[in-house]
A and B are shown apart, each in its own frame.
Chain A
Amino acid sequence: MTITNSIYNVLFRRNYVFVGAVFASAFAFEMGFDTISDKVWDNLNKGRQWKDIRHRYVEEE
């Protein structure tokens, strides 16, 4: 009750705060989504990408 009220008062009452929170959460969501989907992709293609086989062909200087 008080928690929902305070959330409403802090976040939703003023539109600019609401829109700002929406964009900030979009940014955070995008970062998290990209990281997770990249990890899933790398996991599915383990051993087939250049970064996995680079050490066989390129000698570090």
Chain B
Amino acid sequence: MAATTLRNTIPRALRSASAPLHHPSVTAAATQVRYNTQSATDARSPFAQAGSHRTTKIPDFSKYRGGSTSGNKVFQYFMVGTMGALTAAGSKALVQDFLVNMSASADVLAMAKIEVDLSAIPEGKNIILKWRGKPVFIRHRTAAEIEEANAVKIESLRDPQTDADRVKKPEWLVMLGICTHLGCVPIGEAGDFGGWFCPCHGSHYDISGRIRRGPAPLNLEIPEYEFPEEGRLVIG
């Protein structure tokens, strides 16, 4: 019983003691009273009321706007697309011009191929042509020479190549007339093997243009050529 009275009296004493502390303005002016009662019943900030007002109200511009915006949208996309198309065309032309600039010019292309009339070359004769600044040997080989070229043992050669690998038609031997040693021009129908002989350092080539003796390491080079029709040869 004594405990309950103590429990009841302590809050009361606290309440009576704290009342003047927490409510000092109860006896003050009327405006202050109203302000204080509000803060007493409501824990929110006194500025919360003011904050609830919409201070960032956006004005209504609809009066100044046109009716529909789809026309503007189409115009904007059209301008963007036109810009993109012009840029694409321009950059394509730029890249193409640079690439075309790197390719061979018309005068170089005109010199890149030569055409030979083979009917002018009798059997067993050489001719020498200039192609891309280099000499080209064309020999109309006889049947005996073809047989001789085929009879060679491939294994014994320094640069093993069959005669069939070096010609497209056995009677026509077409090759670059540059010694594979140091680039002299060999002499035709000379040397120990009935073919070509390089006078600079003594390389002997046989009737198929293969190196047989001397310092040259490789057979005479074969250019690209074709026979578009009978009696015609195009080199290059």
Contacts and interface: CB of A to CB of B under 8 A. Distances in A.
Nearest to B67: A1
Give the most central of A23, A26, A33: most B CB within 10 Å: A26
B77 A29 contact: no
Interface of B is mostly: helix
B74 A29 contact: no
B84 interface: yes
B74 A22 contact: no
B193 to A, nearest CB: 45
Q: Could you say which interface size class chain A belongs to?
A: 10 to 19
Contacts, number: 45
Interface stretch (B20-28, B88-96, B206-214): B88-96
B68 A1 contact: yes
Contacts of A11: 77
Contact of A22 (B71, B81, B92, B93): B81
Contacts of A23: 85, 88
B70 interface: yes
Interface of A is mostly: helix
Contacts of B68: 1
A35 interface: no
Given A4-B71, A21-B81, A22-B88, 10 more contacts: A4-B70, A7-B74, A11-B77, A12-B73, A12-B77, A22-B85, A25-B81, A26-B85, A26-B88, A33-B89
22 contacts: A1-B71, A4-B71, A5-B70, A8-B73, A8-B74, A11-B77, A12-B73, A12-B74, A12-B77, A12-B81, A19-B84, A22-B81, A22-B84, A22-B88, A26-B84, A26-B85, A26-B88, A26-B92, A29-B85, A29-B89, A30-B92, A33-B89
